[in-house]
Amino acid sequence: MSGYYENADRSNLAVLPGKQQMTPERWRNIKDVVGAVLVLRAHHTTDVFTAITAALYVDHLAERISPPLGRKLATYLASPQE
């Protein structure tokens, strides 16, 4: 967060009319900030989608693997231990 406060004077989205001019540098900065927000939100959306997909795959895998493993475990526990 320190970078945010160090660059607080470069805030281009809150410009009072007549107080500051919108220079090409300010327009570039606005475009960069908007682009960064969109990229970060897309990245977050991708993370959430990947987590949901992984959870569904693990659920599917557990449904397929658990019955045979349960039978093997029951057989193992039912056999006499020496």
Q: What percent of the chain has pLDDT over 70?
A: 71
pTM beyond 0.85: the answer is no
Under 8 Å between Cβ of 15 and 22: yes
Under 8 Å between Cβ of 33 and 12: yes
pLDDT of residue 2: 47
How many residues appear in the chain?
82
Residue 41: give the domain boundaries.
Answer: 2-78
pLDDT of residue 11: 54
Q: What percent of the chain has pLDDT over 90?
A: 33
Structural domain count, the chain? 1
Residues with Cβ within 8 Å of 29's Cβ and at least 6 positions away in sequence, in order, are 10, 12
Mean pLDDT, the chain, as a whole number?
78
- Calculate mean pLDDT across residues 30-53: 85
- Give me the phi and psi of 7, to 5 degrees please: -105, 20
Q: Select the more confidently predicted residue: 40 or 18.
A: 40
